[in-house]
Structure 1
Amino acid sequence: MMDYTVYRKDRPPSTNNLSYGGVLVAITTNLLSEEIRDLQTDSESIWVQINMTNVRKLIVGSYYRPPSDNGTSIEQLKTSLDRINQNAKSTIILGGDFNLGHINWDIPCTIPSKPDIKLHEQLLNIINEHSLEQIVKKPTRGDRTLDLILTNIPSIVNKVETMPPIGNADHDIVYAECALSLKRNKKITRKTN
């Protein structure tokens, strides 16, 4: 059984004091990882750095955009991505529920005469500005692709597929395999007499 270091950002309680939701990244304790607090904004996102065996750093993010967002959450996501030093040779993998399902990811471009086109264009602009590629090509809820994985190095991705939801969830699960060489925690061996 593996142990994990869990990094999470819980959603604040609602007006009737109910708490539910948030984002989470779980990293096996075999890997060196730490939360990147400098990338935090008011958006529902969490960012973690994992050390790789070369000079690169792997930055993993989890993001949720509420359907009621008027663009503030996407702008805060842009702020986080802007804070990543492009000269730091970072590999970025960002996944989450973006709740923007009117994009044709084969092209990529917005689907005309659909709602919230400006928000969809805003997301596409952020993806282009940060040299990211969206790698989920199948719908994740009905006929729309709401759950995305963005990366600046798509060549590391070996496999992406969707699987049926668990329990009462209404989104498919996105599964991705990436070829990365990550630094492992060294186990300290101690002798006792």
Structure 2
Amino acid sequence: MDDRTLVFPGYAIKRKDRSGRGGGGVAVIHRIGLSAEPLTVPSAGSPLETLWIQLTGRRQTIVGAIYRPPSGPVEPVIDDMRDQFAYVISRRTPVYILGDTNFDALQATKPGVKEYSRLLADLSLHQLITTPTRPGPTPSLIDHLITNKPDLTFDPRVVASNISDHDLIAASVAGLKCRQQPRTITVRSTRHLDQDALRLDLLLADWDGVYRADTTTAKWDAWRSVWSPLIDHHMPVRQIRIKHQSQPWLNDENVRAAMDVRDSARLDRDRTPCEETEREFRASRNAVKTAQHRACAEFFLSSYRRSRSTTWRDIRRFLVCSDKPQPSLHSRENLQSGWLNRLNLHFAGVGSAVAEGLAASDTGAPLRPRPPRVVAGAFSPRPATLPELSTALQRMSSSRASGDDGITIAMLRMTFPVVGPHLLNVINSSIRSAELPPSWRAAAVVPLHKGGDTDDPSNYRPISVLPVVAKLFG
């Protein structure tokens, strides 16, 4: 499974895969707002699997993920642990080591546990988890959280997990919190929209100002003066917080029912731990996975039957993520550092920079003769008809993008039977007078990251979003 199919919105992944065909390995998932770099730690080549990253910021911290296979000799693993732990501690930064050691801290007499405990004591390391992490008939504490700064760590805990044999271990660390700024967008709310009422109000509105205006710009302003108040009333502008949408197939009735059975089986196993309740819990947990796979397949099958373009959009949205996290252009850091102004100045100066480069490369050699330009002076576009305007609107894509006027294709399609004739008057006036309202030429420029350094403005491609009416006119 590559990084593109490990979808963790808002997070990045560092991984170290296990060599061979068996799969597996260790990984660290961290919030994008944390600056993390891989840390190379010498290893003795034992079966111990480790991955180290260093967090750089206000307080540097080292985080390690470890896994020890349950089989094999213990002595080489202990020696390797000692060398790696001593190396990261010598960097004099807080160290946090998490993972499955397969050393049961509740069974001090088991092979290797005594040596492992002595190793932690010799290096002044503290293992903070004290309750079993692998429940069942014979609970065990094999998932550990090790640190050299227990005073900076609070609330170590075990969180019940119904999707694995192991429960989760968690803790809060002082000085490492990276508050993620909520992302908000402005949308037209359609929650309480009555389309018939909207069309009726538009039908009863006074559109005479459109027909009395002398210029195309005045006609468009009159059209907007009628349109905007009614749209604001029926579809008010609201700001909403963007949250990652969970997989829609998880709302399937069969999946929810299987999850309820699994959770009930987990409670029964915790109340009465024995082989029978453990077997029932495992069976119910496997049933949840089967139900999820079936619901996911059915979701994409129905999506494919409806529209192939929708299918690929859903695949990119729910199953595949980009290789690199996309930068947030509207984060607090970017706004405070004048990042948007830097982008604007770069895009505005690209044309002059290219012209200067071409002028500098001009050798003065005569250009080849160009063929004569033939211009038909008799060309004159004819006014459009209402059916032609309706057909052009229906042929436009179903994009939800809008220009500065906030008008979308869906809004025009929904209200076209009422506003179509008035809009046609404005468009035909523009054709006859060869006048284009200034607002139709104003585009919202959206920078898209092409790749490379996110702090380099030349690594962004500007996309101009024109008003929908301007696209319809063209």
Q: CA deviation at 1:25?
A: 0.7
Q: 1:41 to 1:30 in 2, by over 3 A?
A: farther
* Cross-structure match for 1:8: 15
* Cross-structure match for 2:41: 38
* Cross-structure match for 2:101: 98
What per-residue deviation string (whole Å, max 9, x for no partner) do you get for residues 126-166 of structure 1?
21122111110110113211100001111112212212224
Q: 2:157 aligns with which of 158, 161, 169?
A: 161
The answer to which of 74-83 and 180-189 deviates more is 180-189
Q: CA deviation at 1:45?
A: 0.6
* Cross-structure match for 1:63: 66
What per-residue deviation string (whole Å, max 9, x for no partner) do you get for residues 56-87 of structure 1?
x211000001100312223212211122253x
What per-residue deviation string (whole Å, max 9, x for no partner) do you get for residues 86-105 of structure 1?
3x32101001101111x34x
Q: CA deviation at 1:4?
A: 2.6
Q: 2:173 aligns with which of 157, 161, 178?
A: 178
Confirm or deny: 8 A CA contact 2:88 2:95 kept in the other structure: no
Q: 2:146 aligns with which of 143, 150, 172?
A: 150
Q: 1:61 to 1:39 in 2, by over 3 A?
A: farther
* Cross-structure match for 1:51: 56
2:41 aligned counterpart, secondary structure: helix
Please tell me the residue identity of whatever aligns with 2:62: I
Is 1:191 equivalent to 2:340 in the alignment?
A: no
* Stretches of structure 2 lacking an aligned partner (at least 5 in a row): 1-7, 180-326, 328-332, 349-474
1:126 aligned counterpart, secondary structure: helix
CA distance in 2, matches of 1:191, 1:81: 45
Confirm or deny: 8 A CA contact 1:60 1:92 kept in the other structure: yes
Equivalent pairs, count: 175
CA distance in 1, matches of 2:128, 2:84: 20
Confirm or deny: 8 A CA contact 2:101 2:143 kept in the other structure: yes
Q: 1:25 to 1:136 in 2, by over 3 A?
A: same
1:155 aligned counterpart, secondary structure: helix
1:37 aligned counterpart, secondary structure: coil
Please tell me the residue identity of whatever aligns with 1:175: A
* Stretches of structure 1 lacking an aligned partner (at least 5 in a row): 105-109
* Cross-structure match for 2:85: 81
Please tell me the residue identity of whatever aligns with 1:48: I
CA distance in 2, matches of 1:78, 1:98: 14
* Cross-structure match for 1:134: 127
Q: 2:25 aligns with which of 19, 22, 40?
A: 22
- Length-normalised TM-score, structure 1: 0.79
Is 1:122 equivalent to 2:115 in the alignment?
A: yes
Task: Point out the structure with the larger helix share.
Answer: 2
CA distance in 2, matches of 1:84, 1:152: 10
2:85 aligned counterpart, secondary structure: helix
- Length-normalised TM-score, structure 2: 0.34
CA distance in 1, matches of 2:172, 2:44: 28
Confirm or deny: 8 A CA contact 1:47 1:60 kept in the other structure: yes
Q: CA deviation at 1:24?
A: 0.6
Over the aligned positions, Cα root-mean-square deviation in angstroms equals 2.5
CA distance in 2, matches of 1:127, 1:134: 8
Greater Cα radius of gyration, structure 1 or 2: 2
Task: Point out the structure with the larger strand share.
Answer: 1
Confirm or deny: 8 A CA contact 2:27 2:51 kept in the other structure: yes
* Cross-structure match for 2:373: none
* Cross-structure match for 1:107: none
CA distance in 1, matches of 2:44, 2:63: 15
2:171 aligned counterpart, secondary structure: strand
